[in-house]
Amino acid sequence: MTKSEKVDFTIRTLQELYPTIPVPLEHKDPYTLLIAVLMSAQSTDVRVNLITPLLFAKADNPYDMIKLSIDEIREIIKPVGLSPMKAKGIYGLSKILVEKYDGVVPKEIELLEEFPSVGHKTASVVVSQAFGIPAFPIDTHIHRLMYRWGFTNGKNVVQTEKDAKRLFPRELWNDLHLQIIWYGREYSPARGWNLEKDIITKTIGRKKVLEDYYKLKKTR
């Protein structure tokens, strides 16, 4: 297969598997999505979805959020981990939204990245999922699969994002970002990986990845 054929095969397979694409983090607007994505750092979507309703019952907008103290926020979100940093970030970005943006979450990645505890990936998720603006946030699943599929060298997420945006059509970025995440979780995880179930990697995977997989399998 040529690189172009591999890309086409990947897109077709993902579209067949995920014709409708659920958004992993529950939210009702750009602000609650921003908070949920911030909370998801080094945590699981399942855990975040259990905690955000507790937080949003008290404050689901920046005006109410800054009425809480950082300690109050921290106590609520403690189960998701890294609560001291995340609580400061939630309070800090809420304060900026109120003082600078009239409580409205901006649509520009560059502006979102200026908020405390908001990095490029978080900003990219918000603009893509809340506003429908094409972006390609790279999480661990996408980074892993782009390497397994031979679409990037795997050196860092910055390079992986550049390669993803270069290879895939811009109008598909937002769908593909979520489709690849779900595919990585269900068919191509980091642990307990079964290549026989991973049709994309089995069909187009990087030669070294496939060789290493079968070598490891023989030793078990």
**pLDDT tens profile 50-79:** 999 999 999 999 999 999 999 999 999 999
Q: Is the pLDDT of residue 220 over 70?
A: no
Residue 45 makes CB contacts below 8 A (sequence gap 6+) with: 24, 25
Map out the domains of the chain as residue ranges.
3-20+137-219, 30-131
> Which pLDDT score, from 0 to 100, does residue 216 have?
84
> Which pLDDT score, from 0 to 100, does residue 22 have?
86
> Which pLDDT score, from 0 to 100, does residue 185 have?
94
CATH class of 3-20+137-219: mainly alpha
Helix and strand numbers (H, E) in the chain are 13, 0
The angle that helices 140-148 and 173-186 make with each other, rounded to 10 degrees, is: 80
What number is the average pLDDT over the span 15-43? 95
Active-site residue identified among 45, 60, 139, 175: 139
**pLDDT tens profile 28-37:** 999 999 999 9
What number is the average pLDDT over the span 138-156? 94
Residue 202 bears catalytic tag: no
Find where tokens 């990697």 sit.
201
**pLDDT tens profile 184-204:** 999 999 999 999 999 999 999
Q: Is the pLDDT of residue 219 over 90?
A: no
Higher pLDDT, 22 or 138: 138
* The CATH number of domain 30-131, selected from 1.10.340.30, 3.10.129.10, 3.90.1170.50, 3.40.50.800: 1.10.340.30
Asked if 150 and 204 count as a contact pair (C-beta separation under 8 A), the reply is yes
Active-site residue identified among 86, 121, 163, 198: 121
Residue 139 bears catalytic tag: yes
Question: C-alpha dihedral over 136, 140, 142, 147, to 10 degrees?
Answer: 120
**pLDDT tens profile 77-94:** 999 999 999 999 999 999
